Amino acid sequence: MKRLHWKIFALAASITTGLALAAVLLAPAGAFTGLTFLKLVVVGLLGSLALSWLVVRMALDPLEQIRALSGQLATGRRDQRLLWSYGDERDATAIALNRTADRLVREIDEAQREAQQLEAVLSSMVEGVLVLDVQDRILLVNPGFRELFGTWGPVRDRTVIEVIRQPEVDDLLAETKTTRAPVIRDVPLRGGADRTVLAHAIRFPAKGPPAGTLAVFQDVTEVRRVDKVRRDFVANASHELRTPLTSIQGFAETLAGGGLAPEDAERCLETILRNAARMRDLIDDLMELSRLENEATATELTRVDVVRLTRELLVDLGKRLSSAALDAHLTTEDAPDAWCDRGALEHVLENLLTNAIRYTDAGGQIRVGIEPKADLLEITVEDTGIGIPEQSRDRIFERFYRVDAARSRAVGSTGLGLAIVRHLVQAMGGTIRVESEIGVGSRFIFTVPRAPEDAEAAD
């Protein structure tokens, strides 16, 4: 029993004992014999003890229940309520306390629901979220943050520099203390693969004394890369167009100046025409690329006999092959049909063969092979040419990329061919890759879907 219980118990016991003793003492003299008197005292004492116990129970039962209720609420149990009914003001107390308990339970539920919602939102964000307290200790980070910065251990109450070791992020967060406006900028991430994140950090709340810092990080590596490719593209395209244009202008001015011998004038005109043709080719390629980028799926699928198409192409290229003293062969006699856009496939093969001719020295060999693979055809264009350095192998499919820009420009190439080829192959649902060895040769391998058995006959 608690102290309060003892006090009430002692009080009730003394009152009842007093009453029993008073009853005995006030009885007329000689009313009890010695033994009967003793028995009466004992019975009186026991009775008073029992009575006191009853009084204590009755007085303390409500308090006991209230204590139990608050204990249950504190430990998270929410179904306990006060159920007594004394028919007096204690009942009103029970009703009031039960209402308070109901409200508390509702508020706890609501707070838990909100916390779960916030947790779900933070977990599903690909952006990294970081919240710092006013002492710059970490309050929370979301899974996106962990993923972005590769941090997996406990972070709570640690500093940012301890956790992610990126001084640029630390500097950015420090800057939020000097301004109430958000600090927004790209931050390069060190380590592993080079990445760029766009960080957006701000002290909160917007008004009043600061309570902490909130920062959101978004991986913009790919966006920035595409941006750079576009900027380079415009710069490259302008440069490539400008070169022949400068030449045209120069020779046209010379012509306009007059006084040229007829054969010199003719040479001027030839140069003008050659450069104009180059400009037209370049613009055609640029338009083709732009068309492919904007309507990648607009290809017309038909059954195509690749063996026949390759043979026809090799015949068409016969003059160029013999003037370059190259031997070109199709090594496959028979192959299943492809299911693709005939014009696109022709364009791809022609581009790869033209490259093989262009980048193979006299006496070299060019081989085309077609091999069925599950639901694909794997087509290989192989040469014994100059080869492609390893560091350039991924880049040759970029627009305007040329391994040796001077040599390429001399032969009038612009570096758009393979960019178009890759687009066309992908638009047909295939892939392209290159294998090469310097001085030994290059092998371009691409895939196109195979025609289904029941498709219309090839044209």
Ligand X SMILES: Nc1ncnc2c1ncn2[C@@H]1O[C@H](COP(=O)(O)OP(=O)(O)OP(=O)(O)O)[C@@H](O)[C@H]1O
- Residues lying near Mg ion in the complex (CB under 5 A) are found at 355, 417
- Other CB atoms within a 10 A radius of the CB of residue 69 amount to 19
Q: Are strands 138-141 and 128-133 parallel, antiparallel or unpaired?
A: antiparallel
> Quick one: 341 or 383, whose CB is closer to ligand X?
383
Distance of closest approach, residue 256 Cβ to ligand X, in angstroms: 31
Considering only 279, 340, 416, 424, the residue that binds ligand X (CB under 6 A) is 416
Given a contact cutoff of 8 angstroms between Cβ atoms, the answer to whether 296 and 423 are in contact is: yes
Give which of 298, 293, 148 is closest to 229, Cα–Cα: 293
List the structure tokens of 317. Answer: 């290229």
Distance of closest approach, residue 304 Cβ to ligand X, in angstroms: 22
Interaction of residue 241 with ligand X, rule CB under 6 A: no
Instruction: Show the 3-state SS of 285-342.
Output: HHHHHHHHHHCCCCCCCEEECHHHHHHHHHHHCHHHHHHCCCEEEECCCCCCCEEECH
> Quick one: 417 or 441, whose CB is closer to Mg ion?
417
In the region spanning residues 327 to 386, those forming contacts with ligand X, defined by CB under 6 A, are 355-356, 358-359, 383, 385-386
Interaction of residue 299 with ligand X, rule CB under 6 A: no
> Quick one: 25 or 411, whose CB is closer to ligand X?
411
> Quick one: 163 or 421, whose CB is closer to Mg ion?
421
- Binds 144: which of Mg ion, ligand X, none (CB < 5-8 Å by kind): none
Q: Are strands 128-133 and 376-383 parallel, antiparallel or unpaired?
A: unpaired
- Count, residues near ligand X per rule CB under 6 A: 22
Q: Give the CB-nearest residue to ligand X.
A: 417
Given a contact cutoff of 8 angstroms between Cβ atoms, the answer to whether 414 and 283 are in contact is: no
Interaction of residue 396 with ligand X, rule CB under 6 A: yes
List the structure tokens of 248. Answer: 């045209």
Give which of 167, 129, 120 is closest to 148, Cα–Cα: 129
List the structure tokens of 334. Answer: 């028979």
> Quick one: 416 or 451, whose CB is closer to ligand X?
416
Considering only 48, 142, 166, 413, the residue that binds ligand X (CB under 6 A) is 413
Query: For residues 409 and 193, what is the distance between their CA atoms, to the nearest angstrom?
Result: 34
> Quick one: 303 or 402, whose CB is closer to ligand X?
402
- Binds 408: which of ligand X, Mg ion, none (CB < 5-8 Å by kind): ligand X
Q: Which H helix or E strand runs over 358?
A: helix 342-358
Binding site for ligand X (CB under 6 A): 355-356, 358-359, 383, 385-386, 388, 396, 401-404, 408, 413-419, 442
